[in-house]
Amino acid sequence: MIAGDAVEVLGRDEVVIRHPHGTDERLTLNRAEVDRPLAFAAPLPEGFASAEFFDAESETSVRQRLQRFEAWLRPLRSQFALGEQLVDRLATYRAGGVVHVSLAGKLLAVIDIQRWQAGLLIPARPVDLSMAEWVHGASLSKEIPSSFIRLPLHRLMWTYAVRTRRDVLPARYREQRLYLRRVPRLPARWFDEFHLILMRELMVRPAHFSQLLERTGWPEPALAHRVGALYHAGGLTTDSESARRAETETRRAMVALQFDHVDRESEVQSHGELSTMGPSSIMRESVHSPLRVSTGKPGLDTAR
């Protein structure tokens, strides 16, 4: 939610927001590229149009805007809820097959373990998924209805693991040597600098969890959180042979990932201001939008 009278219009979608308390800080936003819902409090500046405006002095208007935010974020929240269930249940489905997730006879999700794919009913709520029945079998239909969101399981797992405050790192990953199995097949913008550091460290030299603590100097919970997210996204392994077979592809993927981040940093620096370079509109790509805010220090991130 942004104070409309603090907005300066630069172009059709690009705006600069002045700090509300008179400091020199300015935030540059391109509305078409921001990865979270936006709304502007009236009055809006001349020449600036937005359907997402509200009256900050009206409780009804504010409530309506928050409800609109909730509707935008529901698919992401439902993915988080489904990911939570998968983290707890997936070990029992390693033999393959299909899982149907239903509530009161209504199909909410289809999980195809063999193809590592899932389909999720768009209106499904987190509370529905928490109460749903999970049925697993080899003869269940793999067909995902056309009205469902289609997602790779590693995206669902990442969506949950990167946001939860739970410790989701398996015990063996604290005890055995860790190898970079692959760069997780996720948009590059989903990785923060500490995920990149971890992947570079493990590509150069595999290590035990205790050795990574020494090499990075990070707090133990912060390291466990990021290792856990990379593990659930399919990026890590304790099998040296599996890592060796994928080494060439992994190195190519790391080079491409580093170039992507260098390009993004250059783009931010070219603005010469405090900027948010959001990659995609939540209205256009809401099912993939990673709504996380980073303080820049391990252990101080706020899970969303």
pLDDT, residue 267, reads 47
- Give the Cα separation of 53 and 36 in Å (integer): 15
* Token representation of residue 107: 């199909």
What is the 8-class DSSP label of residue 109? E
Query: Quick one: angle between helices 193-204 and 209-216, nearest 10?
Result: 120
- Give the Cα separation of 148 and 156 in Å (integer): 14
> What are 15-73's pLDDT values in tens digits?
888 887 777 788 888 877 777 888 999 998 888 878 889 999 999 999 999 999 988 88
> What are 130-139's pLDDT values in tens digits?
999 999 998 8
Half-sphere exposure of 214 (CA within 13 A, CB side): 5
> What are 90-110's pLDDT values in tens digits?
888 877 899 999 999 999 999
Statement: the pTM of the whole predicted model exceeds 0.85: no
Q: What stretch of H or E contains 172?
A: helix 172-175
4 in Cβ contact with 42 (< 8 Å): yes
Q: What stretch of H or E contains 128?
A: helix 126-131
pLDDT, residue 10, reads 84
pLDDT, residue 235, reads 95
> What are 133-168's pLDDT values in tens digits?
999 998 899 999 999 999 999 999 999 999 999 999
